[in-house]
Amino acid sequence: MTAVHGEHLNLTTPDGVADAYLAHPDDGRPHPGVLLYMDAFGLRPSLEEMAKRLAGHGYTVLMPNVLYRAGRAPLVDLPDFIDGPQAAEIFERLFPLIRALTPELAMRDAGAYLDWLAASPLVAEGPVGTTGYCMGGVLAIRTAAAHPDRIAAAAAFHAGRLATDAEDSPHRLADRITAELYFGHADQDASLPAEQIEALETALDNAGVRHRTEVYEGAHHGYTQAGTSAYNAEASERHWQALLDLLGRNLQP
């Protein structure tokens, strides 16, 4: 991997200013852009390390605080290690903020994030990729549907509620997506039971979306997130390989 540079910055959106983290190869050249969507716990050192690892493979990675309307990250105090009971307590505090981020607001923001990437001299011309974790996985798929001309690849890891009865369920957006998709589901994830995985697959197949879905056995919701009790090193490395393969096929010349 190449040397990378990371920095914090502010992004202007239609509704305010979002704090964000940017990581890119430290060579001054433009590289394919990737919009990385955070999990519910938000921007923090471990996610910054993930952004830098991805950048080290030749990408300019933008990771916004999608809950910026509630304040700059971190929105709650986070311990160095988040175990199960702590995770539930923290999520309970964050849930009202997450719920307030409607699909309409999130996609209005997505347009601003993509505009920033398109205008940056650090980003190569052409479509970009997006990847997300937990709630960020849902946002990645919604972004691929909202901006099909701008997203060439999208990945979602341990994302929940992808195929529900709701009118705005992500799986109902399948016919708008032109990007290649990858899903890395956790088989120990109550937020995405087997019937939702099946419904998602059916929707993607019927819409003719290029995609690959894998269920990681023994993995829990949050398996990619170091510093939490859900972290699974083997599953996390598997996710890196899948993500890099997806982005390489669609973004690298």
* Nearest C-alpha neighbor of 135 from the set 127, 145, 143: 143
Query: Active-site residues: which are they?
Result: 134, 189, 221
The pLDDT of residue 73 is above 80: yes
Please list, in sequence order, all residues whose beta carbon lies within 8 angstroms of the beta carbon of residue 94, skipping any fewer than 6 positions away. 40, 41, 42, 67, 75, 76
Asked if residue 143 has pLDDT above 90, the reply is: yes
Separation between Cα atoms, residue 106 and residue 142, nearest integer Å: 9
pLDDT of 92 strictly over 80 = yes
Residue 152: pLDDT band by 50, 70, 90 thresholds?
very high
CATH of the domain at 215: 3.40.50.1820
Q: Average of pLDDT values for 198-204?
A: 98
Taking the C-alpha atoms of residue 106 and residue 112, their distance in angstroms, rounded to an integer, is: 10
Helix (H) or strand (E) segment spanning residue 93: helix 84-100
Report pLDDT for 104: 98
In this prediction the pTM is 0.97
CA pair distance 22, 181, nearest whole angstrom? 23
pLDDT of residue 253: 77
Q: What is the pLDDT of residue 2?
A: 86
Report CA dihedral (192, 197, 203, 209) to the nearest 10 degrees. 100
Label the pairing between strands 180-188 and 151-157: parallel
Q: CA-CA distances (angstroms) from residue 36 to 51, 75, 164?
A: 7, 18, 24
**What's the mean pLDDT in 150-156?**
98
The span from the CA of 226 to the CA of 111, in Å, is 29
* Domain count of the fold of the chain: 1
Q: Output the average pLDDT for the chain.
A: 97
* pLDDT given for residue 5 in this prediction: 98
DSSP string spanning 166-232?
STT-GGGGGGG--SEEEEEEEEE-TTS-HHHHHHHHHHHHHHT--EEEEEEEEEETTTT-TTBTT--
| pLDDT tens figures, 30-72 | 999 999 999 999 999 999 999 999 999 999 999 999 999 999 9
- Check residue 83 and give its pLDDT: 93
**pLDDT band at residue 84 using 50, 70 and 90 as cut-offs:** confident
Structural domain containing residue 21: 4-251
Residue 139 has pLDDT above 90, yes or no: yes
Q: How confident is the model at residue 25 (pLDDT cuts 50, 70, 90)?
A: very high
What stretch of H or E contains 30? Answer: none
